[in-house]
Structure 1
């Protein structure tokens, strides 16, 4: 009986493994072509999810996410939150806000984790966000934490992705021992769900051993990967990496014709993604030039390096990427040294070392320090040679502390021991199976009948459970539709409240000017025959000016309605160059006049500290004017409130200032009003939060102002405040 269940379990597990491999090794281009032929929404949704699982951050990901979210809104079938966060991250990356993009991608990963959805390729793609920010230590800590989390839950796909990412990190810093440990673990785990990833990590292991100096191990793993039948289907950057690793290895062994053929194979590899294609081509050109320089034939290396330089100049290629390290400057240095151009060689060696240091590529820094020391020694510049020699010795001592003495990764021994234990277990299982066959042969038929009965019972139970699940799913879909409708109504209410709040200022101005006009008319009619000559003309001129102000603010109210509706549909309006000094001064004057129109007894000192010759900045003028008017109005309200409560002498003051800062401009609005406690300051930008009376404000002014500055202009809006001292709002806008 045990033998029967053992066979059944093995059959089920093998089927599950094959299904996983078919899913994660599916051909992306074939899936993309099949998407347009899918007639049903459910089938299209499954295909979109599959495409995003395989390439979650490539150039086609944003339109795929838009399709997925639109389909899911029509026919809810999955939790869309993580996909929305992923879409937000990709949009932020397009706008150049890498830090916010990384936060959104990490939030998307956490959302998928809560749903127990494996996302190995998203985890691996998140590495590029850390690399763009040059946050190497934060990257290592994040993947260490994620690896522990997935190990506790047995999430094999995500565990493999973390091993891949950590292996790339330790390769980058030159810790080959730990790099190979992680890549081999990734290869072993990936064997259960993706043959492509398994082969890729074998290739990476071979490249690591080649860089470490263990050529025998490098040949072993590269040959093992090429011998697998799935290697023929490995395309793109992985194939380029394989041939570049082989080219470097054969060049190190003096097999230059084979090294050149491998470099040419890397150049000929098919890469679908345009940016990756250019990056891979540049790395292959540099590698071929490096082989030619090792062969002491620098003449044909020059055109290859110039083509690689053109690609780097147009794309600003990273120092380390998918196909390996982009050693353009180091190869230029060797080229100029071979031609006797010592000044150019020195320039490129220094640039190569600076780039490796800035990118924290510790695997290249010792090599470049050694090359610099040798270069200066050959030139007779002994002081420089000694300086770089000392730096090389110090760095090598630091890195060697983390390396194994025989340049064989520690995990190799664990793998050998695991293989022996697996063989022993296989032998024991085979003996047990044979014993069961001999002892329980007569019970085989009865066991088969019981198995059929059990499967039939499970089938009936599954059918009933399926019907229950369908009813539950219909109820969930109905509830979700109701929630979507409620969310729409809530958004409509928020939009209406926002429009009402924004219209309050121009309507107050119109009301105040109308009241002043009424007073002027009464003065004109009640002055009698004794009124001074020309007074009537002055009153009429004042009435004309007030009517012009009423018309102007009526137009402003109409503009606000248009802007709010446009904001609700598509974001901010078109930008134009604007004089921030004039815009800030106008907002200060309007806010002061508006409060004076309500309270004629109010007086305040207006401070203006504008930067001279401040360059115009591209902004959405009406939106930024609305922000400044809100901040100035709040400042005047704060100083008036303190003036009313102050027991002694107090001089209200509101000061605005502008100044240029690195990569942008800064606007400050400061008052000496009541100030805010920490509890209020922490919530000041929340929608609908206000400390005013119910008839004085809706709590949307600062919230809308924060959205206009941060989302509409890519800037920041911060606040500093002390109770009894005052408040200062700081707007920072990118140049």
Structure 2
């Protein structure tokens, strides 16, 4: 699927996040650009790295420069772990200089202090509101305060208040053209709608924010493109997801993503690969989250908790519950100490759902039930409408598996009610949209009616003038058209007759060409055994003449006669052998002509496959008693009867199994000729032939015959289905076996026969049947 190949490109060498210039050098250059002139210093430098800017703070030559650097640091991380010390230094320095109004920063300090204590979130929210109002009054952009404030609303679980507040601020900033704050409001709206499971409005808000961010903060712009890709992936539109992820990856600032945005990116990509079944890459990305360094200690612990949950889910997908349990226990300890909210900067923290999946894997139903209920209760309490239907569905499946229909019905009803409420809410939006469209359509219809009336008046004025002329032209055109059609019909009839004659000639020529090719192949294949038979017959005649030509018995006459008779016997055996080979060629050709003519009947493919595998093995053991191989049967117990021509399909399976056994025997013989020192250094080789059956989608079934034999080079693989092509020594094969197999599958059963091979490693033949 294109989405997951686009994700793979993001991780190519030379493009990861690690290639960045030295932070102190970048910080000095950015500080000079930011503080070198009053014009530059008047606006926050949003695109600078926080760490690089922090390095320049002790090196500022004046108090004014230090004051501006402190402001920029707080613009970038107004609520982080270092916010309170920075605010204290800023307020103390501003008290000396009196450079700006201090009230917004005092309110910000009060709000951040209460927020970090975690005991008075409502009071913290009020202080943050006062700070935002103060900054709006003096006209200072504060996008990161607005972005971080959404987390406080989430912690208070005041989702409707959050929606109303950001809608109000958005209207305020749009009127005043404050693009930084407007973008932050759109970002918060996108997070709200995503939490509610409304992907359509989520993407509207995210893409509006991205368009605004493109003008002043390239790293946030890249991050919003990644968010858009993740939302499209969750929505199921992988083509759009790939488009936005590719767009983000091509931007130079993609490499500069750091902090929690970087961790969010790794988690997003890990989930995407996990959904696609690429667990090794997904685990590598989860490990990157655990190994990454985030400057803020609290954010560092939060990112590790998210990374542990993600990696534990990957272990559960790989059926490694013990490894998942260790990570979940560590994540639980972090959750107990940090009180991680259900939703945060890195998305939803689904620890309880991960525990539920772990206990389900361990078949501990009591604990699984407990954690599924806890996960649903937390999602409902936090009003995360994106997760509630998912958890309700898991509860329904859980109680259904346990045979508790009453409980299953209860949560099924809740799931239906939830979806009905969500659909009703969406209907209001669609109705409102429809009313707007209806007004626009009415206006367009009115304009169209006026234009139509004008056109009708103009036509009426010209109609009288052109009516007679038009009638005359119509008569002329109709007459000409009749003549043209008549002549065209005659031409078409002659052309059709010529095409039929040409087609018959082509068919006849193709038949003759095929007959010539077939005759040439027959002559070539029968020439060898007939030549041998002729040669051995001539030699036998000469031996008989030698016996008759003995003049008189002598001392060694009886011994010579015995040798001649032994030679005659050997020659007769060779003649018989080559005669059997000629008969085999003729028999295979007759089977070629009869392939696909049998009646299909329901057949147990598992039994047919095992029977022919054993027949091929016993036949080879008869020729080479010292040969042994491991036979593996991976047969689908739920395959059921399949309508096939059992005798023809058995011939195909016997041929494929025999070829596989010959390939592993040949490789074993080649290894026997390798020097002892190389054999000891190489891994032990055990000849193995595997037969697999399984049912694909619908009524399609698949049979695979694979071996670890010699494999085939490309030039051999391209010709294996051609008649009379064989790689076996002269006398051991006719070259019709695989050609016959292909015709039986393709023509007789309407299926496919494909081959997958690697020289020196083995070969796999894949039969796909779609019974009618």
Q: 1:136 deviation in Å?
A: 0.8
Aligned to 2:124: 101
Q: 1:132 deviation in Å?
A: 2.0
Aligned to 2:455: none
- 2:135 corresponds to which of 112, 123, 129: 112
Q: For 2:38 and 2:283, how far apart are their aligned partners in 1?
A: 43
Aligned to 1:91: 113
Q: 1:357–1:16: structure 2 CA closer, same or farther, 3 Å change rule?
A: farther
Aligned to 2:219: 196
Q: 1:84 deviation in Å?
A: 1.3
Q: 1:223 deviation in Å?
A: 2.8
**Number of corresponding residues:** 392
Aligned to 1:247: 270
Q: 1:116–1:390: structure 2 CA closer, same or farther, 3 Å change rule?
A: same
Q: 1:160–1:242: structure 2 CA closer, same or farther, 3 Å change rule?
A: same
Q: For 1:364 and 1:177, how far apart are their aligned partners in 2?
A: 16
Q: For 1:17 and 1:206, how far apart are their aligned partners in 2?
A: 37
> Is the CA contact (8 Å cut-off) linking 1:369 and 1:388 kept in structure 2?
yes
User: Matches of residues 274-293 of structure 1 in structure 2 within 5 Å?
Assistant: 274-293=297-316
> Is the CA contact (8 Å cut-off) linking 2:389 and 2:418 kept in structure 1?
yes
Q: Does 1:72 align with 2:94?
A: yes
> Is the CA contact (8 Å cut-off) linking 2:151 and 2:345 kept in structure 1?
no
Q: 1:21–1:40: structure 2 CA closer, same or farther, 3 Å change rule?
A: closer
> Is the CA contact (8 Å cut-off) linking 2:81 and 2:298 kept in structure 1?
no
User: Matches of residues 384-463 of structure 1 in structure 2 within 5 Å?
Assistant: 384-400=407-423
Q: For 2:108 and 2:387, how far apart are their aligned partners in 1?
A: 34
Secondary structure of the 1:307 match is helix
Secondary structure of the 1:300 match is helix
- 1:159 corresponds to which of 178, 182, 206: 182
Aligned to 2:473: none
Aligned to 2:45: 23
- 1:180 corresponds to which of 193, 197, 203: 203
Q: 1:22 deviation in Å?
A: 8.3
User: TM-score scaled to structure 2, two decimals?
Assistant: 0.49
Q: For 1:73 and 1:17, how far apart are their aligned partners in 2?
A: 23
Q: For 1:20 and 1:211, how far apart are their aligned partners in 2?
A: 41
Q: For 1:297 and 1:367, how far apart are their aligned partners in 2?
A: 24
Aligned to 1:361: 384
Deviations 1:210-248 (A, max 9, x none): 222223322322232222211111012111111211121
Q: For 2:240 and 2:326, how far apart are their aligned partners in 1?
A: 34
User: TM-score scaled to structure 1, two decimals?
Assistant: 0.51
Aligned to 1:32: 54
Q: Does 1:298 align with 2:321?
A: yes
Q: 1:292 deviation in Å?
A: 2.2
Q: 1:392–1:88: structure 2 CA closer, same or farther, 3 Å change rule?
A: same
Q: Flag the structure with larger Rg.
A: 2
Aligned to 1:58: 80
Aligned to 2:688: none
Q: For 2:109 and 2:401, how far apart are their aligned partners in 1?
A: 55
Aligned to 1:552: none
Q: 1:148–1:17: structure 2 CA closer, same or farther, 3 Å change rule?
A: farther
Aligned to 1:268: 291
> Is the CA contact (8 Å cut-off) linking 1:119 and 1:158 kept in structure 2?
yes
Q: 1:402 deviation in Å?
A: 5.8
Q: For 2:102 and 2:323, how far apart are their aligned partners in 1?
A: 54
Q: 1:265 deviation in Å?
A: 2.2
Higher mean displacement: 137-146 or 254-263: 254-263
Is there any run of 5+ residues in structure 1 with no aligned partner, and where? 1-14, 405-409, 411-735
> Is the CA contact (8 Å cut-off) linking 1:20 and 1:194 kept in structure 2?
no
Aligned to 2:353: 330
Q: For 1:80 and 1:190, how far apart are their aligned partners in 2?
A: 28
Deviations 1:465-487 (A, max 9, x none): xxxxxxxxxxxxxxxxxxxxxxx
> Is the CA contact (8 Å cut-off) linking 1:309 and 1:328 kept in structure 2?
yes
Q: For 1:335 and 1:371, how far apart are their aligned partners in 2?
A: 13
Q: 1:16–1:244: structure 2 CA closer, same or farther, 3 Å change rule?
A: farther
Aligned to 1:470: none
- Runs of 4+ displaced beyond 4 Å: 15-22, 400-404
Secondary structure of the 1:163 match is helix
Q: For 2:109 and 2:40, how far apart are their aligned partners in 1?
A: 31
Q: 1:377–1:341: structure 2 CA closer, same or farther, 3 Å change rule?
A: same
CA RMSD of aligned residues (A): 2.4
Aligned to 1:351: 374
